[in-house]
Amino acid sequence: MTQAGVDPRVLMGLMFWPRGGSAQVVRYLAPALAAEGWPVRLVSGSQGGPGEAGNASDFFAGLDLIPVDFTPALDAAGRGEDPLDQPVPLHPSYEDRAGAPDRVFATLDERLLGRQTTAWAAAFRAADSPTVSVVHLHHLTPMADALTQMGRRLPVVTNLHGTEMLMLEAIRRGNAAGWPHAVAWDRRLSGWARGAQRLVVVSPRDQERASSLFDLDPQQIAVVPHGVDTERFRPGSLSRAQRMAWFRRWLVEEPLGWAEGEEPGSLRYTEADLAPLADPEPPVLLFVGRFTEPKRLPLLLRAYARARRQRGVRAPLVIWGGHPGEWEGEHPASVVARERIDGVFFIGWRGHDELPVGLACADALVSPSVGEAFGQVFLEAMATGLPVVAAADGGPLSFVVGDGERANGWLVPPDAEEPLVDALVAVAEDAGERSRRGENGLRLVRADYSWRAAAERVAELYTEVSDAVPPVG
């Protein structure tokens, strides 16, 4: 069910162009909310023209959308200008990545904050409608200040997706070297959190974190797990030949993998290179995600190298993702080249629409990421019948079971290479256990996780806050 052409009741804001987990949440939650009687008008960041990665009109096709175009700001960055000091400034980031145009929030002063607020206030005014009765913001951002310039008071629900809490925790620990305005941003984020009528998080653990960080009553923080589109993410039965046709397309015919400092497609493969993927014996291991520091991809690659060299594992490892030009710490392709790790294939950044096929071409999802607020891709993998390897940290602790009759994956201690090696060996060598754990995960997703259930709970929050804070026109 789409929302275009329907008078909105919810004004939803996402400051970032669509590239991460919060964009996926919006993409699925908004139509589900419309089905619950709360049609959404979305204001979202966007970059690039039609068909380019990050274009909001493509990504959110079918939704009632007001895009905020960052393309001119990125073009300005290419001319050596500050992309955050433009009429429509580029969004900042919660992550401090060297050389990235979207530098960390905590480096912005009052003037640059004003640029953000002014641009988003204009976007909200353009999107506003007399029928709107609640605002739903994703992340703690200057959008909260921009709302005050709309000229009317509306109740606010704010989703915390975890990255803002990671930045704030780094500031509180004193790990903010090079962030000259860290204290001010601590104060701002806390104020925006306390100013919302409800905060939404995905797990009881994040409810505790948010309550402590923002000094809030836990009752003000609703736990609403994300859902899975089980129509799109479901078990597949691709033959090895069908898998190879997809791998040939992704790796040989239309490569998008990229080396450090190079363009998508700079990592190319030949037909002969695909031999490990054509072998019917070993399973295919799959990583999905951005090349950011919390994903711990270099750790995974080193553990995988040890599993191959010391334990005889032959399973190929496919790396799906890595937004073009974006990485933190060691670039994974550089790790592979420097340490001469065999069996690794870089697919590149692919649209979410292709991910169900990507999962159908694999036998297990492996990702030792830490600090995940939720970990949507783990549930999407489980919905296709794949077992998962995850770090015992953050969101995956809410749904990944590592042992016993209900085991649906393998949990390893965070940042621990040896247990990760053991888990990779286990998943590669025991087909029966992969099947058992995959079936358990599939049952869990079908029973407990759906976008309809998430939308029902969010709709209840809308009703609660609308009754408590009647809009003033």
The architecture of the domain spanning 10-227+451-468 is 3-Layer(aba) Sandwich (3.40)
For the domain covering 240-448, report its CATH number. 3.40.50.2000
Report the sign of the C-alpha dihedral through residues 97, 100, 104, 109, in that order. Answer: positive
Residue-level pLDDT at 152:
85
Residue-level pLDDT at 154:
95
Residues of the chain with pLDDT under 70: 1-5, 469-473
Which residue ranges make up each domain of the chain? 10-227+451-468, 240-448
Tell me whether the CATH fold assigned to 10-227+451-468 matches the one assigned to 240-448.
Answer: yes
Q: For 189-206, how does the pLDDT look when each residue is reduced to its tens digit (9 = 90+)?
A: 999 999 999 999 988 889
- Here the tokens at position 60 are 């959110």
Residue-level pLDDT at 398:
86
pTM > 0.85: yes or no: no
Cα–Cα–Cα angle for 183, 135, 188, rounded to 5 degrees: 5
Q: For 377-424, how does the pLDDT look when each residue is reduced to its tens digit (9 = 90+)?
A: 999 999 999 999 999 998 899 899 999 999 999 999 999 999 999 999
Q: Do 102 and 17 meet the contact criterion of CB atoms below 8 Å apart?
A: no
